[in-house]
Amino acid sequence: MSIFIDKDTRLLIQGITGRDGSFHGKQMIEYGTQVVGGITPGKGGQKFEDKVYVPPPFAADAMMEAADAGIPFIVCITEGVPVLDMTRVYLFVKERGSKLLGPNCPGLISPGASKVGIIPGRICTPGPVGLVSRSGTLTYEVVYQMTRAKIGQTTCVGIGGDPINGTNFIDCLDAFEKDPVTKAVVMIGEIGGTDEQEAARFVKQKMKKPVVGFIAGQTAPPGRRMGHAGAIISGSAGTAAEKMQAFEDNGVGVAKRPIDVVDLLKRVLR
């Protein structure tokens, strides 16, 4: 099994005729995702390959339009969406009962079943480990190292690192805990905010499956944003050291380097 998407997931791509939309849309189709259609305002009737991608200023309207139409699961990979826009989108989507992943995220993939977003399918392989990450590039690195070590994945989820997003660590951890095929979980965090600390407490209180983690930004200077909009140390709670300590205090195995995740997984999967 997997979480959020599977082989029966049907996908509609917003902005499919754009440069990025057409490029990644084609990759998702080639991976086997059931892309049932695409939309771009003013371009009705066109064909794509004979058979989600909206700029930041228009992403908020696209997300709310999808939620208003009853789309149950919305993935927004667009970066640079204004935080003020997301304060409106978050409540709008939630009130209509839809689930949102993103913005500013790589999407998700259930290896061998379905891919929604930009995670490279060739580095993934089916297996018993779930992965949730705030960092897109670190998702790729850790998944690649797992696959090389013959440790497959149930679902890999990139939640994004913006201050306001639709799906957080706890949402994914809870879903992995309920998934009968997932035997262990990898959690990749980064500096800024307290999401990792809250997730670590959830692991201790609610989860029986082993969780291992890595925190990016261990040498980041205070007060400087590193990568994501939310990756900035503005207090002691946002430092990598504080987050790593929270992991240790709550039974989450801590990797010093991304490659060390593989060794931690080998121990808990024995």
HEC string of the chain? CCCCCCCCCEEEEECCCCHHHHHHHHHHHHHCCEEEEEECCCCCCCCCCCCCCCCHHHHHHHHHHHHHCCCCEEECCCCCCCHHHHHHHHHHHHHCCCEEECCCCCEEEECCCEEEECCCHHHCCEEEEEEEECCHHHHHHHHHHHHHCCCCEEEEEECCCCCCCCCCHHHHHHHHHHCCCCCEEEEEEECCCCHHHHHHHHHHHHCCCCEEEEEECCCCCCCCCCCCCCCCCCCHHHCHHHHHHHHHHCCCEEECCCCHHHHHHHHHCC
Quick check: is 24 catalytic?
Answer: no
Is residue 50 packed enough to be buried (19+ CB in 10 Å), middle (13-18) or exposed (0-12)?
A: exposed
Q: Which of 109, 228, 242, 243 is catalytic?
A: 228
Q: How far is CA 258 from the centre of its chain?
A: 17
Annotated active-site positions, please? 228
